[in-house]
Amino acid sequence: MTSFATVRDQKTDHLLTPHNAALVLIDYQPLQVSSIQSMEKRALVDNVTAVARTARLFGLPTVIATVNVGTGRNQPTIPQIAEVFPGVVPIDRTAINAWEDEDFVAAVRATGRRKLIVGALWTEVCLVLPALDALAEGYDVYPVVDAVGGTSRVAHEAGLQRLVQAGARPTSWVQLICELQRDWNRGDTVAAFAEILFAVEGK
Cα–Cα distance for residue pair 135/149, rounded to 1 Å: 20
For residue 178, indicate whether it is catalytic.
no
Q: Report phi then psi at 185, rounded to 5.
A: -70, -15
How many other CB atoms sit within 10 Å of the CB of residue 161? 13
Q: Side by side, which strands form the sheet with 62-67?
A: 91-93, 62-67, 21-26, 115-120, 140-143
Task: Exactly one of 23, 126, 145, 148 is catalytic; name it.
Answer: 126
3-class secondary structure, 85: coil
Going from the C-alpha of 35 to that of each of 1, 32, 142, the distances in angstroms are 48, 5, 23
What angle is formed at CA 45 by the lines to CA 40 and CA 46, rounded to 5 degrees?
Answer: 95
Catalytic residue list? 126
